[in-house]
Structure 1
Amino acid sequence: MADKKPSGDSGSGSEAGAESSSSLPDEVWEQFIRDTESEIRASAPKEPSARARMVTERLRQQDARGELPPGWRTGPAWHETKRRAARRRRVWAVIGVPVALAVALVAMKPSLLPGAPFGFAADDAAAPATPLPPETAQPTAAPSDEDFPGAPTLAQPFAGSPAERYADGAEGIVLPEAEPVGSLTKAQVAFALKQTKKLLVDANLNPATLRGDRPETALGVIEPLQKDLHDLLDTALREPDEDHDPLLMFSRFDPAEVRLVGDVVKTRGRMTFKEGERASVVVHADYTFVYPVTRAEKGSTEVTRTIIRRVLDLELSDPAKYQVTPGKLAVLRYDQEIGNSACDVYDGFLHPQFRSATPNGEAPTGSAVDPYDRSRELGADRDEECGTVTRT
């Protein structure tokens, strides 16, 4: 922009200044806009630094050798990370010029933008996302990745994730209206639903369980006559290994490794019921739990998320017709899919992977999966190999 020469007439300077602060000729304002845009473009970096080119080339070579991406149960694919980061850079590139012009406009003439100058209050940027209504049927598609820009932080651990709109904790486990089923009364069905929720809450949301404590409440819901299952879970909680993994039914983190960010775990899913074959009601529960975590060491600020989808079928039989323990639920099915935890590590804990760290566990060999896609069935024919997650 050309230098502006001072006026030689000091007596008229104040009048000219007053006039320029109240109005500007259109041609002057247009020239200012053109000059400002030109300076912004001129100051933009033209090419990456030598170090940036070196890092990019190193990552490209790692990708070609199959060392990237991190695995399903380990974290987002490297190419997906690049794509999302590039999208954020494009967003800033688009809004950068208008923001610069708005700042210059306020500096020249604040009276043009009274009150909230950019059209929103300062605290609107941190306004919570609109919660989703309860899930009443299986979704038909995964949520769009484009609808959730941003990245998780300590202040906003669910930023950039569909979980921003999920319910908090147990509020996301909404019980359907109970009805009589077969020989079971409405009250008995309602009891089965409440017991299912009790198990889910203690197994996946109780802070003590998440820290690695024994989930006594959840275990107390399960039919004691299912001795093999109780033995498996008892061994898994006491001496976990590949054949005895407590993560099959319980969410647990090593407190020496990571800590939860805040006190909220996001929950999304649904519960249904139907008549069973043994004078019973069978409750079907399908829920996704999203855990934001950071490293345990003091001062850690990087946030990542582990996503677990659990599917349970639980049965309450009529004790007047079958030899069962009154008030206890038999587990017919327990299935799970874990996103962002190290592959093939069987120490009884989830091990979230951070972008800044080298992935641990075995390298992924399975397909890529969106852990937020609740439209998929967790069927017996799905790929059981450790694969890659497309986002966390």
Structure 2
Amino acid sequence: MTDKPSEDSSISDEAWQKFVQDAERDQRAAPKEPSARARMVTERLRQQDARGEEPPGWRTGPAWQEMNGRAARRRKVWSALGVLLAVGVAVIALKPSAVLPGGWGSEPAGPPASPLAPETSRPSGAPADAAGLPTRQRPFTGSPADRWASGAAAIEVPKAKAVGGVSAERIEAALRRTKEFVVASNLDREVLYGAEPKTALGLVDPLQKDYLADLRSALRHPTVKNDPTWTFTRFDPDEVELVGTEVKVRGRMTVEPGDTAGKALIRADYTFVYPLAKAGGGTEISRAIVRRIVEVDVSDPAKYQGTDGRIWVYAIDGEISNDDCRLGDGIIRPQFQADLMSGPESSGEAFDPYDRSRELNGAEEDCGTVSRT
């Protein structure tokens, strides 16, 4: 396009140079077609906004009277294999600096995003995509969690009032202990690195003997059917290290009447985002996303038996996203770009782990696909 015309051309050098400059300017100004991923994200958000309806709720676990019954636990582990591999190829093509020495996002990030207000009800849809690539200094860049609150302070206890025949005072105490359990299970730094979750175990009503026995057995000898990551977030410190001091948290805690008079049910629904790098100073940042739903029974002590100062775990459900699907070893193992080609094949329809507008999928799937981390 910029080759000079032949010597016998009647076009002058000045006219040819003007023609080349005009063509280049027009090419830069031409509109660009959105990428396939941009079209996919736009369509997904449009469909979510259009639906508007809430999916049916879930409920698992025994009634309060079953004093030795174990709380139902389901684990759904998801992998980012297919989609993240495509994203990685696109990053290399469009931004080679992202994979050069120095790690992800060698360009400086913009100013920190403004924080979100606390979540007080079910969101209407998934959060919008965030721009940028994570670094050790800014590990949440490119994630909706960049605007979330951090740590235990993000778990706000609602104002207590009498519910289902249970006094406000008893509800308040149960809410506080439920928060302690969620924090001890998912935010305690030593537990995250594989230590025994003594604080969390100590909060469970000792009358739940079978449940506690299962938890302790899972911690000592994890199996596919009894894996402690169903309840506790745990990583292998020989493989990965937590980047920085923050874990981002988003969710809410609610109270509703129980199945019978004299009972109330606390529902704590939170998503945790953990930034990780490979142990030994790795530069690539990966994020593990864990959503927990913990239900706690609260009862009128005049009608039901229970231990003061403890909680009765009615049910625990959850999803673990961006895990390599080695089930049954009691550890969450986040995926990095180098792992994508050697990991297990993903299956199932892709879903967004940041979408808190949906209920958890009840299917028992070993691996799936997430649309982003």
Q: Place the TM-score, normalised by the shorter chain, in its bin.
A: 0.7 to 0.9
Other-structure match for 1:163 = 145
Residues 1:354 and 2:336 aligned together: yes
Give the superposition deviation at 1:316. Answer: 1.8
Cα distance change on mapping 1:76 and 1:132 into 2, 3 Å: farther
Using the TM superposition, name which of 221-230 and 197-206 deviates more: 221-230
d(CA) in 1 for partners of 2:336 and 2:296? 35
**Alignment check: 8 A CA contact 2:236 2:331 kept:** yes
Please say if residues 76 and 391 of structure 1, whose CA atoms lie closer than 8 Å, have aligned partners that are also in contact: no
Corresponding residue for residue 384 of structure 1: 365
* Counterpart for residue 113 of structure 1: none
- Distance in 2, matches of 1:346 and 1:139, equals 33
Q: Distance in 2 between matches of 1:312 and 1:387?
A: 23
C-alpha distance in 2, partners of 1:324/1:130? 44
Question: Does 1:77 find its partner at 2:82?
Answer: yes
Q: Would you say the 8 A contact 2:115–2:147 is kept in 1?
A: yes
Q: Distance in 1 between matches of 2:215 and 2:348?
A: 27
CA gap of 1:348–1:359, structure 2 versus 1, over 3 A, is farther
In structure 2, do the counterparts of structure 1 residues 242 and 385 end up closer, same or farther at CA, with 3 Å as the change threshold?
A: closer
- 1:132 is matched with 116
Q: How well do the aligned residues superpose, as a CA RMSD in angstroms?
A: 3.0
Judge conservation of contact 2:167–2:300 (CA < 8 Å) in 1. Answer: no
2:270 corresponds to 1:270: no
Separation in structure 2 between the aligned mates of residue 360 and residue 220 of structure 1, nearest angstrom: 40
The 2-side partners of 1:191 and 1:150 are apart by: 42
Structure 1: state its 5+ residue gaps: 2-30, 42-70, 93-123
Q: Which residue among 137, 145, 157 is the counterpart of 1:175?
A: 157
Distance 1:72 1:391, change over 3 A: farther
TM-aligned CA distance change 1:139 to 1:201, over 3 Å? same
Matched with 1:375 is: 357
The change in CA–CA distance for 1:309 and 1:158 in structure 2 (over 3 A counts) is same
Structure in which a larger fraction of residues adopt helix: 1
Aligned length: 298
1:74 positional shift: 2.9
Equivalent-residue separation in structure 1 for 2:361 and 2:171 (angstroms): 26
Q: Which residue of the partner structure matches residue 292 of structure 1?
A: 275
2:295 to 313, 332, 337: 313
**TM alignment of 1:336-351, pairs within 5 A:** 336-351=318-333
The aligned counterpart of 1:255 is: 237
Q: 1:342–1:359: 8 Å Cα contact kept in structure 2?
A: no
Report the counterpart of residue 263 of structure 2 in structure 1. Answer: 280
| 1:6-21 correspondence runs (5 A) | none
Distance apart, 1:222 and its partner CA: 1.2
8 Å Cα contact 2:165-2:261 kept in structure 1: no
- Distance in 2, matches of 1:184 and 1:306, equals 37
Q: TM-score, normalised by structure 1?
A: 0.69
2:197 to 202, 215, 224: 215
Question: SS where residue 338 of structure 2 aligns?
Answer: coil
Quote how far apart the aligned CAs of 1:185 are. Answer: 2.1
Query: 1:77 is matched by which residue type in structure 2?
Result: G
Contact 1:222 / 1:328 at 8 angstroms: preserved in 2? Answer: yes
* Aligned AA (1:130): S
CA spacing shift, 1:386–1:214, aligned 2, 3 Å = same
Instruction: Work out the CA distance in 1 between the residues paired with 2:364 and 2:358.
Output: 12
Distance in 2 (alpha carbons) for counterparts of 1:294 and 1:84? 17
* AA in 2 matched with 1:348: G
Structure 2 counterpart SS, 1:198: helix
Any idea what the Cα deviations from partners look like across 1:55-108, whole Å, max 9, x if unmatched?
xxxxxxxxxxxxxxxx96332534x5545874897799xxxxxxxxxxxxxxxx
Instruction: String of CA shifts for 1:197-237, please: whole Å, max 9, x gaps.
Output: 00010000010110111111111111111111101100011
User: Aligned match of 2:126 in 134, 142, 166?
Assistant: 142
Q: Structure 2 counterpart of 1:73, which letter? A: W
Shift of 1:345: 2.7
**Identity over the aligned pairs, expressed in percent?**
45
Q: Deviations over 1:111-131 (max 9, x none)?
A: xxxxxxxxxxxxx95421111
1:320 is displaced (CA, Å) by 2.3
- In the TM superposition, what is the alpha-carbon distance from 1:356 to its structure 2 partner? 2.1
Alpha-carbon distance in structure 1 between the residues aligned to 2:140 and 2:359? 25
Shift of 1:244: 1.6
